[in-house]
Structure formats: structure tokens, C-alpha cells
Structure 1
């Protein structure tokens, strides 16, 4: 039988055995079996124990042996955009905003394209201030350069 590419919906590897329901552990070998039926392809991931105890009369369309490695966890953003912006807004609105923290947060938000530096000015005593604009709201923030 010649399978058509449209008949196969990609199924991701399971994290547990289809027969025993036991979760796979890192480094464990398991078997992937593909069956072709009237509804298309069906995938089963079996532990070695389930593979050895299977009914050999039921032949899969294809099978292979793999080593289970859990998917790497998605690294969390050090500070999510929303929280960093909220912290920046809270600090900049305080009576005496910490210059260094505001500067670092503004630079981080600029890098994430939340803020855009629109101007740099020198104030009394040669101290520089950076002017940032928040693109979606148009809010302007004046951040002293520490």
C-alpha cells in the first residue's frame, strides 16, 4: 500500500507507554509502532516490557527503537515583558526613582522593543537624561543616566 502524505497527522512522542501507561524515564529505550488503518496512521509508543509482551501476529506498518529523552523545559524569561514594564512604571512614578534600576529596566525594555529611545539631553551640571517612548500608548519617560 502506498501511503499518501495527507493521511498522516504528525503525532509527537508519548511520555508514557501506550499499553502499561507507565511514564518513560530519561535514557530508557522504547519502541514506536505505526499502524495503517482505514482512518489513517496510528502511533503507539511502547516500553521494552510491552514490546516483548505484544501480540506478534499484529504487524505494524513500521516500527523503530528509540531512547527516551524528555523535552527540554522552555527557559523562562528572566523577567517577563509585562512585569518588567510594570516595575519600570512603578519605579519611575515614585517620589525618588532609583536611577540605576530605572536605567537598566529602560535598556532592557528598549532591547525587547517595548520602549524606544527618542532623545538624549544634557541637564544642569552636564548630567544626561534619556527620553523613551512606549510605542503602543505613546507614554514618554525621562530616565536619568546614572
Structure 2
């Protein structure tokens, strides 16, 4: 089972398939179906018919209301270092377990900067799973808690700093790179130390 992923907010109603208008209210239902987390975004008029009893349906996890914001036009491509959010998306898209700890640290960093919000904490057989939402886009990220020990934290922070600086490694590349600037490690350490202690 892949218990970590992200799902974008829909641009149309899951029920009637009408596109959402900018500023329109919608409802989101998060459920566990077919061995994975599923998201349904529903317009206000369909919610009036479908909303009743949503919490009693099989697999229901959570429900919330939001306001749709139309995506801005795509900016021109520019060569730039990965931001924490774009890196988190890339790590989750790989589906590789080796990035589990780095994904968690990035999510914590983004939560502290108020760029992600915890919508739900789930207790699974494999441990605790956080469901984060990116408020501007409505994207959902499900990220398991790797239960990092203090002695593991520094190595993961070095890896995150290297990923932010260099991006994902290419096949055969030494990883993480030997030299990671001390200020990058310090910034990552500052963002995550309190979380690991809690």
C-alpha cells in the first residue's frame, strides 16, 4: 500500500462535473477506498443533495468546506533551485520509500512556514499519517510519520539541504553530495528540531 501521496483540488464538481467558478464554495470529502486515500470535491448545490450522511459512508475520514480559487496563469519557466514545496511534490511523485524521511521533514518545514495545514492525523497499522492541505491550491499530501530518532535527524537534514540545493540525484550520482553548506543544514535543523522533540 502506498500511504503517501498528494491529490490536487478538483477544478470541477465530482458529482455534476460542472467547472468551479472563482470564489465559489465547495465541499471536500476525504475517504479511504480501494486501499488508497480518495478526495472528492463537490459544489454547493450538489452538496445539498449528497452531503447528508457523508460521514456515515464506508471509508469516511474527514470533510471540510473551502472557497475555490482559480489557478493563476503559469509563469514563464525559469531555472531555479527547488523550493521546499516543489521538492516535496517531486519526492512524493517518485513513490520511493527512500525519500520518506525527507518528505516528512519538508512537510514539517512547510507547516511551520504556514504553507501547509494539517487537516487530519490518522492512526494506521504502520503508524501515524498526516494529511496536509496546501491552502492556496487545495492540494492534499498524505505523509506518514517516520518516527525519527534524534541521532537520525542530522543525516536527514543534510539530505534535505542537499536536495534543496541540487535537486533529485541522477542514477549513479554520489548521494548526498559530500559538501553541503553549513547554513543550509542550520536552516533545516532550526525548522525541525522542535517537531522531533514533541
TM-score by length of 1: 0.45
Query: Relative to total residues, which structure has the larger strand share, 1 or 2?
Result: 1
Query: Relative to total residues, which structure has the larger helix share, 1 or 2?
Result: 2
Q: Which has the larger radius of gyration?
A: 1
Greater RCO structure (CA 8 Å; 6+ sep)? 2
